[in-house]
Structure 1
């Protein structure tokens, strides 16, 4: 299946959340959903030599790398590195509103520099070969008029060669709101993004922001080519991902239930611990597996306390699952 088909539903790149352990867990829940890395800066790869940031397991496929940066030549070099590592897609971040990102002149602040973004993606496409280069953006920033800014932005990057974009249906306020507030406070404008899907019918546009259930995903797919889910897929992953393969992709579901998903993470957890890693690096991403169900609190508590226990091993996962099973009975 081409990566564009997998983009019918994707899990958004989220800093400090969508690391390789999170992606391994999400892949247990769904074989078809497109997964993204945390944002990696082109400077860290090209100038910092932090190539370990590109590490991923083949079992995570299809997986896309998100890059942050604003230097076309540097982004092209980072893209070539990603392609050599086997990523299915390279995505440019034009949506993150954090102060650190602004100071580096990348992320949402680039909504104010569409010509530079066009230069960046053109350079990335030239370096990517057959691997698609995509963009994740906002509808605008600060006092920009999204109805004017967004279509101009999409036109420019389309003319530079981009055919797939994920649009967070909120403005980003670069001054006055924290990154967390920027994910919640600016109002969602789904109608504007739906209008872009109609206007740019030759582009594959995904909508992002405030989508909290698989029913929401299905509804949005009535208007959009794709849907990107962020926090909901992290805090209640089974609700979004467990039936996604059948409901969204028309394929058999890869995992029958939450308990099976937990058990299928045991080999990954054991390998991580055997390699000197801490169990909490893995289990922190699994805390929401039983969200809203009997035993969910005991599951979270057992995993959290167990991960902090000196010498803890993979047994904390089966201990936590036993707590859920007991309460569900």
Structure 2
């Protein structure tokens, strides 16, 4: 068993090393599930086989010692050298390969359940959500806000709150589901969304926008026009640079995105009718965000959860707190 455990940990180290070096894309949910199942197997084996075997071995040792002492006593020998306490402790001691598998099962199970059904940490890797979220923000994602989903396969089994316009949502990137993305929900199923001349319209009505001055975008190392926007019931901040007029066009790497025929692209922008079970996502840093304007809609089965709290930013502790 020690050799099998060594092979398991060698494979785990190789997988993590290749993931870290960029040799392949890792799937932490799947990895955590596999570790939970493997350590559960060791824990059950320890509880119902290995531990009882060690206890029985220690009991046999004590019984043999007691029988030896009784026999010597019958022979008139009262003083007997030797103490089996040390040997008994050695027999009962858990071997390293069980200590590093069965012993870790409760911790791994707790992490698996917490991350799968309650809250998952996420690090902001880019400036697409500036000024709401900055590069380096460590955030929490509520996994049960939109419903309970089975881990790994991400199938919803219990519904909860509906996705709302203005929610900041983490989802599996449609072009590569092994990667998690974070954007703001701009439109929900049935909406007609139009983004033209750097203005957002939902069902023909322009969102309320108020200027707030200039914002220094550290990720782009320059000042950008700063606005407050009301999307649905959520008032949040965005960056829009009138000097950067982008040409929007679908550029999904794997070809036309699903329901692309429900979008029309012009020189001024893009208009889409959001299909059932899908969402249109935008970054708050509107001119520095690759989002639904380019790669299409996010299906419901790709939802990870609703982002709601910055729990740490090592470069700026004032970032800690809830956000909209």
TM-score normalized with structure 1 length: 0.20
TM-score normalized with structure 2 length: 0.20
Higher helix share: 1
